[in-house]
Amino acid sequence: MRRLRKSGESGCMPKVRVFLVCLACLLVSTNVGWSVSKFFYEDGTIQEGEIYSYVGVYDDATVDMTGGEVTWGLTAYDTSTVNISGGFVQALGGDSTKINISGTMEGDTFRIIRSSSVNMSGGTFDIMEVGTLGGAYLYNGVISDYLLAVSTVDIYGYGFQYNPLAGDYRGGQLTGFWMDDTPFSIDLYAVYNPPYGGTIDTWSHISLHEIPEPCTLALLAFGAIIRLRMGKKQWGSVRQRRHKSEYFVKIGGCFMV
């Protein structure tokens, strides 16, 4: 049998309770460091313990991220600079900006568009995509899934080998060593005659810069030192012979007088 509401009894109590529960959850999440978004128009930092769903960097601001977490995405605009050496970023994007990746940072997808450039000397990404007019300079780090590029990607290391039949993304696989002797392997992305027309061939946009391995550099340096010392000895011998010759000529001149 349906219970009749008594006079003066409010019918909105369940709604109030739901609202209070939601408010409590919001307050708890705020206390543990969650924030919906963060926007930088001036220099700033993201440190360990800070958690944001989205971060935007604008104007000429410089942001240093040494820890923390960005759960949805970080995008840099205008002439800003982002330096990331630690923490986690779900998706990273650059639009006419400069991004420096190093250290132990981890990320999911990195998209470089327009006239942005990236210097990668460490860190780990699953996917890196370099769009039109973008540029990437790779000195170290890990790209665990694939690299897609429609503009130039400069890679610095040694012992490069490209296998067009290897890899999981039809663009072949590039292997080699970074300058600190760390081996790397990058699968390259390729699409031929995709539905929207055209072709994406990452390998055609790769520029390899062969840097002599440390042992070779040591041998070259040692050889240069030996040649330098031998050159000094030879020059000393020539000077000594020249001095003796001039001495005997003078003595001969005296005898002739």
141-184: per-residue pLDDT in tens? 999 999 999 999 999 999 999 999 999 999 999 999 999 999 99
Q: What is the pLDDT of residues 22-37, one digit of tens each?
A: 433 443 344 444 568 9
pLDDT at position 20? 37
Q: Which two tokens stand for residue 18?
A: 């739901």
- How far apart are the C-alpha atoms of 133 and 130, rounded to whole Å? 8
pLDDT at residue 132, as a whole number: 83
CA distance 245 to 231: 21
Q: Half-sphere exposure of 92 toward its Cβ, with a 13 Å CA cutoff?
A: 30
Output the pLDDT for position 22.
45
Q: What is the radius of gyration, based on Cα positions, of the chain?
A: 32
Q: Which residues of the chain have pLDDT under 50?
A: 1-10, 12-13, 15-33, 247-257
This prediction has a pTM of: 0.71
Cβ atoms of 82 and 101 within 8 Å: the answer is no
Question: Tell me, what's the pLDDT at 215?
Answer: 56
The predicted structure's pLDDT at residue 216:
55
What is the structure's pLDDT at 86? Answer: 97
Ranges of each domain in the chain: 25-211, 213-257
